[in-house]
């Protein structure tokens, strides 16, 4: 939106807020059918700044201000409103960037966790085997010895 259009919109919304309703031909635009007039009306309509009392948005219809239009008037000028929008957009972009970085870090940590869990399971198996050998070595040795003895005795 061009700055001069923004100044016209801000002034119109301010008057509309004070008076309750206005005709669109009260816009500070020279000709109500001009491209500038239509661009401004379309912008205000699409952003929810105004609502028409009729079904159409033409120069002879009355319009009233909507909550989005009131939010513009919380600022001292159109430029201040635009600066706020830019800051909010940058803030959202930064939040999205941080969110993507967090998701990436979560994926990396999840992969590391799976690797460590697999490693831990392998170490637990090794520990079980070594624990069995440590606690029952004499039975294992006796079984091997008995097998060697029986082989020598039977063959």
What is the full DSSP assignment across 84-144?
HHHHHHHHHHHHHHHHHHHHHHHHHHHHHHHHHHHHHHHHHHHHHHHHHHHHHHHHHHHHH
Measured CA to CA, the distance from residue 11 to residue 78 in angstroms comes to 9
Asked if 70 and 17 touch (Cβ cutoff 8 Å), the reply is: yes
The yes-or-no verdict on residue 91 having pLDDT over 90 is yes
Backbone region of residue 20 per phi and psi (left: phi > 0; alpha: psi in -120 to 50; beta: other values): left
**pTM greater than 0.85:** no
- The secondary element (H helix, E strand) that includes residue 52 is strand 50-52
Residues 6 or more apart whose Cβ sits within 8 Å of residue 26? 12, 15
The yes-or-no verdict on residue 23 having pLDDT over 80 is no
DSSP secondary structure string for all residues of 10-27: HHHHHHHHHHS-EEGGGS
Q: Residue 9 has what pLDDT?
A: 83
The yes-or-no verdict on residue 106 having pLDDT over 70 is yes
């Amino acid at each position: 939106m061009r700055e001069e259009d923004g100044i016209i919109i801000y002034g119109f919304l301010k008057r509309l807020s004070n008076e309750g309703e206005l005709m669109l031909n009260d816009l500070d635009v020279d000709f109500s059918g001009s491209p500038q007039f239509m661009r401004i009306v379309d912008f205000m309509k699409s952003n929810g700044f105004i609502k028409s009392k009729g079904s159409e948005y033409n120069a002879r219809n009355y319009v009233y201000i909507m909550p989005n239009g009131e939010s513009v008037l919380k600022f001292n000028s159109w430029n201040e409103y635009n600066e706020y929008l830019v800051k909010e957009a940058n803030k959202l972009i930064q939040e999205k960037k941080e969110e993507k970085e967090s998701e990436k870090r979560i994926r990396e940590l999840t992969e590391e966790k799976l690797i460590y869990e697999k490693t831990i399971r392998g170490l637990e198996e090794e520990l079980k085997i070594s624990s069995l050998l440590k606690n029952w070595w004499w039975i294992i040795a006796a079984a091997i010895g008995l097998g060697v003895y029986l082989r020598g005795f039977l063959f």
